Chain A
Amino acid sequence: MTDEIVENLKRAIIRYDTKEAEIWAKKVVQEKLDPLRAAKAITETIRQIGEHYGQGELFLPELVGAAEAMQRAMPIIEEEIKKRGEKRETLGRIILGTVYGDIHSIGKNMVATLLIAAGFEVKDLGVNVPPEKFVAAVQDYQPDILGMSALLSTTAPEQRRVIRILKEKSLRDKVRIMVGGAAITEKFAQDIGADAYEATAPGAVELAGKLISD
């Protein structure tokens, strides 16, 4: 029975079926199965799908589908983990958003998807995100990494503003900051005091791993 429920949960993710994913996640809780084990199965499944994407066998619609099925199941499992006073091992928690004044979403979404598929916990704040909202999210979610996207050189300075406010509130040391987007360069990232810059989404996954293990 135990195996069957977890297998069904995995299958729901492989089939991009958000409804089934939710149903089987709830079953895990109802049947009092080990939530840590279920969480691990989910992450491993999504990581496999991510690998297939990396090898060119699957494409973005599939990857996003699996990520969404996973995101439907995971909070249910996580709540149970919390209830039991246990803790799930994730690769790390990341907050992402496109800076204030900029509505470009595609690159940021791409980065979010690949991070999720790699096993990170991602909170996406959306586009046109005011600096205060980034700062509040850092305070509330205590992420390992804050990722900011900017495609316009006119709004790239918003990234600097966010970092300035984080410093003012003594939060800068609590979070690693990575930046990207068409308008951003390595040099700009250094100038504004970000920890790292990356120009591609797969690179962002590697970078996030490195920033956390450093």
Chain B
Amino acid sequence: MAMRGFKLNTQPLQLLTQEQVEAIHQGTLKVLSETGIRIEHQEALELLSEHGCQVDFQKKQVRIPEYLVENCLSKVPSTFLVKARDPKNDLKIGGNTVYFTTFPGMRIVDLDTWKSRPATKKENADAVRVLDALENLHKILCYTPYFEVEGVPPVMAISESVAAKIRNSTKFQLTGYGRHCELFNIKMARATGCEIMGQCCASPPLTYYEDAIESAFRFVKAGLPLHISTGDIFGGTAPVTLAGALVITNAELIAIVVLTQLIKSGTRLVVADFVFPQNMRTGSPAFGGIECSLHHVAFNQIWRGKYGIPTNIASVGLSSSKKIDFQCGYEKTSLALLAALSGANLIQLHGGVHGEITYHPVQSILDDDIAGMIGHFIEGFEVNEETLALDLIKQVGPVPGYYLNKEHTRKWWRKEQFLPQVADRLTYPEWLKKGQKDALVLARERMEKILATHHPVPLSPEQDKAIDEILKEARRYYQQKELI
């Protein structure tokens, strides 16, 4: 039985008319067949060429014909199962299911000074342990969440991160790629009886470098699912107009849909929307910008709605704010809610603070309440004889009628109401007496409690040893290449 996640029990929010969706689709086909995509990978170029693409091997530019696009889009499963280390944490991705996942950060942020620094190995493991405990967090993303961990050589960062996630959580995970670390990451998943999702990321506009494509080949050939992503920045690496940016994102993603389905038809894919407006003052992506949502909502309509391929809305879990504060809260909540309402299958919400630069487990705990709120909302409520409660209303009548003491209330209230774990909901006098704590303080307390009490199911000694061996092998490999 897969994790249930949340169900969007209503028509997805849509921004575009059918004609507009069609215009974007047709525009995408035109870009793919006329401008094409640059793919720096010989085997990919050859495969695409064999299947009717027009390939300029010198420029590494591939023009993809419409029939091939339509054909490959139709081969991607619209729902599929992925296997976690603990079968109760398997995921059934697609349809109207919404799962929440993490957003990483390069370093840990200090909750007092708000400055960042590399995490320690223990902090890294602890951050994963917190994620394992959170009830509204269904999948863990690449990096553990930190990229910079003390004592971990940079080339080992991703593989060490995979190991830390396998050891400290039984939830399903996605992994990054680069410098051939995929080889070791796939081995670790195999050794512990779970699946792992790979990643392939465009370098916008319209380009894929070798490491990204190599990662796609490795995961697809291993029969594992793949997460494909872009990184378009409106007005920077993509047109500043949302319609044009959607065409770019579509073209970049479809190229990999085609490639993966040619390598192995039916390969399980998640398409990710990782996009930002360009901050025209600093040149940085404008994290948390509401324009992200305009793109996300249209993206869900096109990908889940028209193409029937599960979506992951990525540019949600990171803010322009450097602190866990009001701005961070409103940016993340607004974007996550709109993603959920428009039919996202996965939403990257938990833990990220500033711009993929910082992360904190306390933030993941706060986000778990946001996820719970949103999940509660999109599920809607039941309307039937019992919930209409006409008999009860008749029985209770006007004042002094009262509902708190009724069986109906006891039966239904937990289902009808969402209870946040760390929001401050005390009355004012109680709040004064109990130390005037806010959500941030309460989240810190919850983190301490989780760390003191939550112990994920450990690996068997053999599995643990296997992970050690694979990490050793990776280290030897990088030492030989003089990267360590």
- Kindly state whether residue B52 has any CB partner on chain A within 8 Å: no
Interface residues of A, dominant DSSP:
loop
Q: How many angstroms between the C-alpha atoms of A109 and B211 in the bound complex?
A: 23
A205 to chain B, nearest CB (A): 13
Partner of A61, one of B157, B179, B280: B280
B185 to chain A, nearest CB (A): 15
Q: How many angstroms between the C-alpha atoms of A179 and B210 in the bound complex?
A: 25
Query: Which one of B80-88, B231-239, B328-336 contacts A?
Result: B231-239
Query: Which one of A42-50, A80-88, A150-158 contacts B?
Result: A150-158
B234 to chain A, nearest CB (A): 11
Q: How many angstroms between the C-alpha atoms of A152 and B179 in the bound complex?
A: 12
- Kindly state whether residue B78 has any CB partner on chain A within 8 Å: no
- Kindly state whether residue B381 has any CB partner on chain A within 8 Å: no
- Kindly state whether residue B470 has any CB partner on chain A within 8 Å: no
Partner of A182, one of B106, B178, B179, B209: B106
**CB interface residues, B 274-310, toward A, < 8 Å:** 278, 280-285
Q: Is the CB of B280 within 8 A of A60?
A: yes
- Kindly state whether residue A141 has any CB partner on chain B within 8 Å: no
Q: Which of A60, A110, A154, A156 has the most CB of B within 10 A?
A: A154
- Kindly state whether residue A136 has any CB partner on chain B within 8 Å: no
**CB interface residues, B 121-180, toward A, < 8 Å:** 147-148, 154-155, 157, 178-179
Question: Which residues of the other chain, A, contact B283 by a CB distance below 8 angstroms?
Answer: 60, 106-107, 109-110, 113, 201
Q: How many angstroms between the C-alpha atoms of A183 and B107 in the bound complex?
A: 11
B408 to chain A, nearest CB (A): 56
Partner of B157, one of A56, A109, A127, A153: A153
Question: Which residues of the other chain, B, contact A106 by a CB distance below 8 angstroms?
Answer: 233, 236-237, 278, 283-285
Q: Is the CB of A154 within 8 A of B278?
A: no
Question: Which residues of the other chain, A, contact B178 by a CB distance below 8 angstroms?
Answer: 101, 152, 154
- Kindly state whether residue B451 has any CB partner on chain A within 8 Å: no
Q: Is the CB of A154 within 8 A of B281?
A: no
- Kindly state whether residue B483 has any CB partner on chain A within 8 Å: yes
Q: Interface size on A (CB < 8 Å)?
A: 22
A68 to chain B, nearest CB (A): 15
- Kindly state whether residue A212 has any CB partner on chain B within 8 Å: no
B478 to chain A, nearest CB (A): 10
- Kindly state whether residue B265 has any CB partner on chain A within 8 Å: no
B409 to chain A, nearest CB (A): 53
Q: Is the CB of A103 within 8 A of B281?
A: no
A52 to chain B, nearest CB (A): 13
B170 to chain A, nearest CB (A): 29
Q: Which of B154, B178, B280, B283 has the most CB of A within 10 A?
A: B283
Partner of A103, one of B209, B235, B285: B209
B354 to chain A, nearest CB (A): 12
Q: Is the CB of A153 within 8 A of B280?
A: no
- Kindly state whether residue A18 has any CB partner on chain B within 8 Å: no
Partner of B154, one of A107, A113, A154, A182: A154
Q: A154-B179, A182-B357 are in contact. Are A128 and B236 (CB under 8 A)?
A: no
Q: How many angstroms between the C-alpha atoms of A101 and B210 in the bound complex?
A: 10
B123 to chain A, nearest CB (A): 17
- Kindly state whether residue B203 has any CB partner on chain A within 8 Å: yes
Q: How many angstroms between the C-alpha atoms of A128 and B357 in the bound complex?
A: 22
A157 to chain B, nearest CB (A): 7
**CB interface residues, A 144-190, toward B, < 8 Å:** 152-154, 156-157, 182-183
Question: Which residues of the other chain, B, contact A156 by a CB distance below 8 angstroms?
Answer: 154
Q: Is the CB of B280 within 8 A of A128?
A: no
Q: How many angstroms between the C-alpha atoms of A113 and B283 in the bound complex?
A: 10
Q: Which residue of A lies closest to B283 (CB)?
A: A110
Q: Is the CB of A59 within 8 A of B357?
A: no
B201-220 CB mask vs A (1 if < 8 Å, else 0) is 00100010101000000000
Q: How many angstroms between the C-alpha atoms of A96 and B237 in the bound complex?
A: 19
Question: Which residues of the other chain, B, contact A153 by a CB distance below 8 angstroms?
Answer: 147-148, 154, 157
Q: Is the CB of A60 within 8 A of B357?
A: no
A199 to chain B, nearest CB (A): 11
B232 to chain A, nearest CB (A): 11
**CB interface residues, A 5-48, toward B, < 8 Å:** none
Q: Is the CB of A128 within 8 A of B209?
A: yes
Q: A106-B237, A153-B147, A154-B157 are in contact. Are A56 and B281 (CB under 8 A)?
A: yes
Q: How many angstroms between the C-alpha atoms of A159 and B240 in the bound complex?
A: 33
Q: How many angstroms between the C-alpha atoms of A201 and B237 in the bound complex?
A: 18
Question: Which residues of the other chain, B, contact A113 by a CB distance below 8 angstroms?
Answer: 283
**CB interface residues, A 84-101, toward B, < 8 Å:** 101
Q: Which residue of A lies closest to B106 (CB)?
A: A182
A-B contact pairs, 5 of them (CB 8 A): A101-B179, A106-B278, A154-B154, A183-B154, A201-B283
Q: Which 10 A-B pairs have the closest CB atoms?
A: A110-B283, A153-B154, A59-B280, A103-B203, A154-B154, A60-B280, A154-B155, A103-B209, A106-B236, A60-B283
Given contacts A153-B148, A154-B179, A156-B154, 14 further A-B contacts (CB under 8 A): A59-B280, A60-B280, A60-B283, A61-B235, A61-B240, A101-B211, A106-B284, A107-B284, A109-B283, A127-B203, A152-B154, A153-B147, A154-B154, A154-B178
